[in-house]
Chain A
Amino acid sequence: MSAEIVGLTAAQAAARVRAGELSASELFDAYLERAAAEDLNAFLWLAEEAPDPPADAPLGGVPLAVKDLFCVEDVPSAAGSRILEGYRPPYTATAVRNLRDAGATLLGKTNQDEFAMGSSNENSGYGPVHNPWDRERVPGGSSGGSAAAVAAGLAPWAIGTDTGGSIRQPAALCGIVGLKPTYGAVSRYGMISFASSLDQCGPLTRDVTDAALLLRHMVGRDRCDSTSLEFPEEVVQPSAERLAGMRFGVPPELSGEGIEPGVREVFESAVKTIEGLGGSLEEVSLPHSPHGIAAYYVIAPAEASANLARYDGVRYGPRTGDSDLTAMYEQTRHDGFGPEVRRRIMLGTYALSSGYYEAYYGRAQRVRTKIAEDFKAAFERVDLIVTPTSPTVAFKLGERTEDPLAMYMSDYCTVPMPLAGIPAISIPAGLSQRLPVGIQLAGPAFSENRILDSAYALEQAIGFEGVPVG
């Protein structure tokens, strides 16, 4: 029975609960049992029980795995960092509240790279997460716990956050669907900030239908987040079977050099599938996107250096060193932050320093504008852009930890979209070295319905088999 329950997609499970064919508590217990027994280190905290969902709730009591950095009242929310160990926020993030209101129940908090800074989940203050396809490999990051949990059937679905690829890249490496919405589509209130102008939360799911269902109940203007926007239309369930009339652009900058051969093969085959479904293809140039990583690694650390200044051990979180104020700050921050976080705080502080601001932050912002303009020009010719999601398949644990630049390049294909604020999805498109490969579809701001519809058609045609549950 339990195996059958966890075999259902979230949308199927919600439908059964609403139809009275499955009880919400049965559903919750089936997942809790699996999550409690997991050995991927995907979860940092698990709920003990689930409240009954409201009758007729659209998400029908389907359990939800939530990335650690979402604040949930009275639930440990540490953003994967030791500096927030034991922190239980006095309030709940808007995205989580919206999903609860729609009937989702909190299953647990998932592991992540500390403060979402990482592409392998090895920067977690609570140990790395293992990829369910190969335990010697990383699940990607920073939403590695959420991706691994969904891929391994420890949770029907999850939410994560994406700043430079942190939803899409782990989704690709774990063989699931991950969507980064338009900047402002989902409230950031209660999401522990990494880089405020880039952070956006979104769904990690087994299929495109689930992603649409989850997104539908996340979006909307929130008066607690000044940068949030009203979603201009309803997020609908995708149903396209063909791609006739759809124009797809392939940017050579993001699909050629630097993409490993196995990934390129899967990508090329997916492109053929698009043509087979009636979609047209053309090359579009995104000339500034190769500079995305450089711009990103100035802007994101700069914002992070300010966002992380509040962790001083005074009002919450552990505190060490008390000989005087400065010593306390220094000791607390030294003990609480991991090496990658410290590196980025220093990078960001430097980039904003007097005399360097223009050369780094100012220039990076101009590159960002250019990247956005590239996309705008491209979308005058095509409806969607298609690229590989990650240049490589999941790499081995420890393989890139000594080489930050190699690690940063994992986000090469995913970084330009958040810089431009536009939505993008990663769906699994095949295997290379018996590991999943994801392809990415990106569209203009608020084109989520279009993206989901095309992704759905492609998903049906590809027929990717996820990691066998069990």
Chain B
Amino acid sequence: MTTGAPTREYEPIIGLEMHVQLKTRTKMFCGCELSFGDEPNTHTCPVCLGHPGSLPVVNVRAVEYGLMIALALRCDIAPRSIFHRKNYFYPDLPKGYQISQYDIPLARGGRLGDVRIHRVHLEEDAAKLVHAGESGRIHGSEASIVDFNRGGTPLVEIVTEPDIRSPEEAAEFGRLLQATMRRMGVSDVNMEEGSLRADANVSIRPVGEASFGTKTELKNMNSWTFLRRGIQAELERQEEIVRSGGEVVQETLHFDPQAGTLSPLRSKEEAHDYRYFPEPDLVPLAPTEEMLERAGAAIPELPGERAQRFERDLGLPEETARVLAHRFELGDFYERAVSAGDGAANPKTLANWVRNELVPRLGDAEPEQWKVEPAALARLVALVGEKAVSQSAAKEVLDTLVSEGGDPQAIVDAKGLGRAGADELAEVVERALAENADAVEKIKAGQDKAIGAIVGAVMRETKGRADGGEVQRLIRQRLG
């Protein structure tokens, strides 16, 4: 049995569950300040430590952020949503239950991009466990330390419908959601720090089959690359099971990004009966008209609307507009480049450069780590437009801009990447003609294709600093 990429025989069915930590000043049910990286257990109180007699009080700001998210995802907001207790014993859960929402969540329905949203609800985050020992997981660790600073952080859980059909689409949806959250300023949505966490529900079914196969849940994928790779690995695993006549078992799998493998979480950790029941310490959450209006007014232009504007005002093709706008930071970068270009760099050309050249070079790097300035890219594109730099030389300049930053003209000068001058070019063409007598003969005999060999030689000689069209013109002129 060979393993390999999933074939067209099976269709992947993917749904995502995203946890977004809200960037409120205080926690979901108490007045402790949110913090990241502070001394452990310095932001705690009787409520978030689960002391006897303490009671939760809903953070109004968190509700407002939740409403903004629900509105941005075009969900139906419940007139009265209910908090429930989700019961389980774990050291990161000081009350022995998590206050979450269950059968009547904050909002239902909705859509983001091409993916339908199932539900959006509010809850509190658990505390952070630090496991001493090699594995970094609770099993096999010598001791576990609980940091309650994180405990009680407001979370919004967003669950999609199983509308996603490939690992790439999953990552793209994730990026769009991340961009949307970041745009609204409701969360840092930093996957490494855990302010955005994504779990995936994955199953496969034979193409043409209407019902779903058994799904598994994937956890611990803290970058879009890992999400893509994790889903990919799981799809391959499931396909191999099904092909060899086996059955997929419903389970929760932990993705190990180093090894690229999936391992089941011990059944004890997942075999829960959460015994949900309505949280008697809280009253139903009934957003007022005023709250809804305030939340609606606080939503800025979202990526979807921005894509439409890029198409309409800047004449970008739909696909390009979408790619740029759906990554909020990329869209900002692009818009800044357009305004820095000030007409010297064509917006459409700039967009292609951002999408086709810049994006692959940036990879998964966080925007704050980007070294290339929007104005620098605009100048580079302008240089290409003025024919001062060739396409291929410009790409080399971009490599440097992405890895080190700097000014494109300075890089061109320092590396001698400026377009070859007329004298230099004439000389190189002359030499190429002399060294490729065969090709010259063929051209003269009417085999026009042979010109490619001579152009290639010139390009090699000039290290790409010459313009292909100009070189052809010179060759034809010389051969009469």
Contact = CB atoms under 8 A, between A and B. Distances in A.
Partners in one complex: yes
B280 interface: yes
Task: For the complex of A and B, list the 10 residue pairs with the smallest distance between their C-beta atoms, beginning with the closest.
Answer: A309-B96, A196-B280, A197-B280, A352-B275, A192-B52, A190-B53, A71-B53, A310-B50, A192-B53, A354-B273
Contact of B52 (A89, A305, A306, A312): A89
Interface string B260-290: 0000000000000101110011110000000
Nearest to B58: A226
A315 B91 CA distance: 10
A237 B280 CA distance: 33
Interface residues of B, number: 28
A224 B55 contact: yes
Contacts of A189: 53-55
Contacts of A188: 53, 55
A91 B55 contact: no
Interface string A305-331: 110111110111000000001000100
Given A189-B54, A315-B94, A226 B283 contact: yes
Contacts of B85: 306
B422 interface: no
Nearest to B138: A325
A404 to B, nearest CB: 23
Given A87-B52, A224-B55, A306-B87, A196 B277 contact: no
A70 B282 CA distance: 20
Contacts of B91: 312, 314, 325
Interface in A202-233: 223-227
B302 interface: no
Given A226-B56, A354-B275, A90 B51 contact: yes
B273 A223 contact: no
Given A227-B283, A349-B275, A357-B277, A309 B95 contact: yes
B456 interface: no
Interface in A346-364: 349, 352-354, 357, 361
A43 to B, nearest CB: 20
Contacts of B402: none
Given A89-B46, A197-B280, A353 B52 contact: no
B53 A193 contact: yes
Contacts of A315: 49-51, 94
A420 interface: no
B54 A361 contact: no
Contacts of B46: 89-91
B370 interface: no
B57 interface: yes
Nearest to A70: B53
B118 to A, nearest CB: 21
A224 B53 contact: no
Interface in B47-89: 49-58, 85, 87, 89
A121 interface: no
A353 B273 contact: yes
Contact of A77 (B52, B54, B58, B89): B52
B10 interface: no
Nearest to B268: A326
Contacts of A90: 46, 51
Contacts of A87: 52
A84 interface: yes
A302 B91 CA distance: 22
Given A309-B96, A309-B97, A89 B51 contact: yes
A303 interface: yes
A469 to B, nearest CB: 33
Given A77-B52, A357-B277, 15 more contacts: A89-B46, A89-B51, A91-B46, A196-B280, A225-B281, A226-B55, A226-B283, A305-B87, A306-B87, A306-B96, A306-B97, A310-B96, A311-B52, A352-B277, A361-B277
A191 interface: yes
A226 B96 contact: no
A235 interface: no
A309 B85 CA distance: 12
Interface string B194-210: 00000000000000000
A93 interface: yes
Contacts of B56: 226
Given A89-B46, A325-B91, A196 B281 contact: yes
A174 interface: no
Interface string A276-316: 00000000000000000000000000110110111110111
A79 interface: yes
A309 B89 contact: yes
A352 B52 contact: no
Nearest to A325: B91
Interface in B29-51: 46, 49-51
Nearest to A349: B275
B56 to A, nearest CB: 7
Contact of B275 (A70, A190, A353): A353
Nearest to B88: A309
B53 A93 contact: yes
25 contacts: A71-B53, A77-B53, A79-B52, A89-B52, A91-B46, A91-B54, A192-B52, A192-B53, A193-B281, A225-B55, A226-B55, A226-B56, A226-B281, A227-B281, A227-B282, A227-B283, A303-B280, A306-B277, A309-B87, A309-B89, A310-B95, A310-B96, A314-B91, A315-B49, A352-B87
B477 to A, nearest CB: 84
B160 to A, nearest CB: 25
Contacts of B146: 314
Contacts of B52: 71, 77, 79, 84, 87, 89, 192-193, 310-311, 316
